[in-house]
A and B are shown apart, each in its own frame.
Chain A
Amino acid sequence: MTVTTPDLVEPATQEMPGRAGAATGQRRGAIATSIMMVLALLWLFPLAWAVINSFREYTYTQTHGYLSFGGWTLHNYKQAWEQGQFGLHFKNSLIITVPAVAITLLLASMVGFVLARFSFRLNLALLGFFLAANMLPPQALLVPVFRMFKDISLPLFMSDTGSMLNSYWSLILVNVAFQLGFCTFVLSNYMKTIPHEIYESAEIDGANVWRQYWQLTLPLVRPALAALAVLEVTWIYNEFFWATVLMSRTDKFPITSALNNLRGQFFTDTNLVAAGSVMVALPVLIVFFVLQRQFVSGLTLGATKG
């Protein structure tokens, strides 16, 4: 499969463009359709394979090989859940993701509002300040952030280790700081489509800036907020780097970085890993299927002018 993927592209290159248009011949259309179908199934295969094998007994697949049929069981899920402490890690993910997304959207919408509502001379610089921060490689900031967090002590009710390192706060704040740029950019673009007359009449009615933001702009940009919320939930849930380096205690790991627990040092039960992977993927897959439109529009709002 590894080698065939690029190969399959070749025929597609020649056939596809001709097909996209009107009736250039049904035969070419049929070829194009079947190539697409094969590619699409190929793309679905890895996940399907993980799902299938997550339901199979390890001993059965060991004796009969993976190209067999049978050995169905639910046991992998139970074992993965217990051995990987999935309950704990899902809770950690929830504790980190929900506040991080909420704070990101709140702060980004405030900056976006100011950028869209007023035309200060520094607007562009401000946008660049946030947007560039979003694109810096996080590893480039690792040393100072790591060391700084180590030195910041938090009261015990905020962090049971008494330090910023190994606390949920560190991950929430870092995620917010990193996601702000993208969200600000998308939201300010979206807010610029709001006609300015609305603000003028609001001003005449005596609404101050905060009320204009809170009661006028925010309700109007609800679609963009929804799209970004979906996208940010997936991104922050999937975040791996900071969660790995800022948390040294495994019981604090969010689910994405906790999967490693399922891998023994010398021995790996692939079916168990499959069950774990499916469980980790499940929340984002649900989000994806239920809120597909929001997800796509969130991603593309940033690429094209909203």
Chain B
Amino acid sequence: MTATESHATTSGRGSSAAPKPRRRRRLSITDRIVVGLMVAVPALLVLWLVWLPAMGSVALSFGTWNGIGSVDQIKWVGFQNYHDIATIYPPFWPAMRHNLIWLVFLFVFPTMLGILLAVVLDGNMRFGRFYQTAFYLPVVLSLALIGFIWQLFYSRDQGLLNDVFHTQVDWYGDPKINLWAVLVATAWRHTGYVMLLYLAGLKSVDNSLREAAAVDGANQVQTFFRVVFPVMRPINVIVLVIVVIESLRAFDLVWVINKGRNGLEIIAALVSQNVVGEATRYGFGSALAVIMMVISSVFIAIYLRIVFKEEQR
């Protein structure tokens, strides 16, 4: 879609957009084809592998299909899948609750800590670089790997925690506590990520604002909350959106531990269980996927709005 339409606008607006300093001649035919292809090839790829599957998920969620036969074996059942998910699918509500806990936890602990660390490290602290490195070292590791590294603490028979406290707790296995164990491991990585984003944001705050606040007699804390924090609004919202999306996407860590069962049900794992697991219930899995998509799209919209506003400035 994009390629042809941008063509039309090129030729149409090429000269009328001239009042701006960027005077432009009309593009030659070859140039137009080149421009078209430069956009069309990537756009088609994304269309094929992201947007069409997204629409496909929505369509499939209204049917039942074991995925083995061809597409015309799909039985259309309306909202039956959604109804079943909410009523007779035991792991669904725990999964929703776990995702929500995930979000709140990430937000309250690692996100706040990350922001705090960024604010502290933004000043010229001694060994500042060392601290920064320490905090964002886990950011380069995959969450799957983090699951394995933390097993050295959590393992029931060989873990450090049980060794130190002389206990026999199965941190990854006990459904009452394993979610929290996983969250702590996630927090290890998430803190540095937020710190990094926030540090970049702080660096972009005009220093004269801080100076002006200091001249007016504001102390450091006041300066941060009354001056710096409000100026950083776009970054704040972006961090918030990232936290929401990350907690909705949470998958790797849980999947390496027990494929999202037994206290670790989360929505992303449920989708996968229904598609690549023993039972292939494509319609049902798609309905779960659509629920994920709907929730995330709200936040994607918020994110895009900020980006567009920044773009237009």
Contacts and interface: CB of A to CB of B under 8 A. Distances in A.
Interface of A: 1-2, 5-6, 9, 12-13, 16-21, 24, 32-33, 36-37, 39-41, 43-44, 46-47, 49-50, 53, 61-62, 65-67, 107-108, 110-111, 113-114, 118-122, 124-133, 135-148, 173-174, 176-178, 180-181, 184-185, 196, 200, 203, 208-210, 213, 234, 237-241, 244-245, 248, 256-257, 259-260, 268, 270, 273-274, 276-277, 280-281, 284-285, 287-288, 292, 295-296, 299-300, 303-305
Which of A50, A143, A185 counts the most B-chain CB atoms under 10 A from its CB? A143
A188 to B, nearest CB: 9
Nearest to A174: B49
18 contacts: A13-B116, A21-B123, A39-B135, A40-B131, A46-B152, A46-B153, A65-B163, A67-B163, A107-B42, A129-B2, A135-B245, A137-B249, A141-B53, A144-B52, A180-B45, A244-B276, A274-B149, A281-B141
A2 B60 CA distance: 42
A19 B224 CA distance: 13
Interface of B (DSSP majority class): helix
Given A137-B296, A140-B290, A288 B109 contact: no
B293 A136 contact: yes
A120 B6 contact: yes
B2 A126 contact: yes
A43 B139 CA distance: 11
Contacts of B24: 118
B235 interface: yes
Interface string B41-67: 111011011111110110010000001
A185 B311 CA distance: 10
B136 to A, nearest CB: 8
Contact of A33 (B49, B126, B286): B126
B149 A46 contact: yes
Contacts of A144: 52-53, 56-57, 60
B138 A118 contact: no
Contacts of B22: 119, 196, 200
Contact of A141 (B21, B180, B267, B289): B289
Given A36-B127, A203-B25, A208-B34, 15 more contacts: A16-B119, A17-B224, A36-B120, A50-B152, A66-B163, A119-B20, A130-B42, A139-B292, A143-B60, A146-B275, A238-B141, A257-B144, A260-B256, A299-B200, A304-B201
Contacts of A17: 119-120, 220-221, 224
Nearest to B162: A66
B296 A238 contact: no
A41 B290 CA distance: 42
A304 B60 CA distance: 38
A305 B28 CA distance: 32
B272 interface: yes
B96 interface: no
Contact of A270 (B13, B51, B151): B151
Contacts of B278: none
A143 B140 contact: no
Contact of B201 (A18, A141, A270, A303): A303
Interface in B1-58: 2, 5-6, 9-10, 13, 17, 20-25, 27-28, 30-31, 34-35, 38-39, 41-43, 45-46, 48-54, 56-57
A1 B161 contact: yes
B212 interface: no
A19 B267 CA distance: 43
Which of B38, B187, B276 counts the most A-chain CB atoms under 10 A from its CB? B38
B119 A20 contact: yes
B39 A142 contact: no
Which of B6, B152, B238 counts the most A-chain CB atoms under 10 A from its CB? B152
Given A111-B42, A139-B271, A140-B289, A296 B196 contact: yes
Nearest to A113: B38
B46 A133 contact: yes
Contact of B57 (A33, A141, A200): A141
B30 A208 contact: yes
A273 B57 contact: no
B168 interface: no
B34 A66 contact: no
B219 to A, nearest CB: 8
A200 B21 CA distance: 11
B13 A234 contact: no
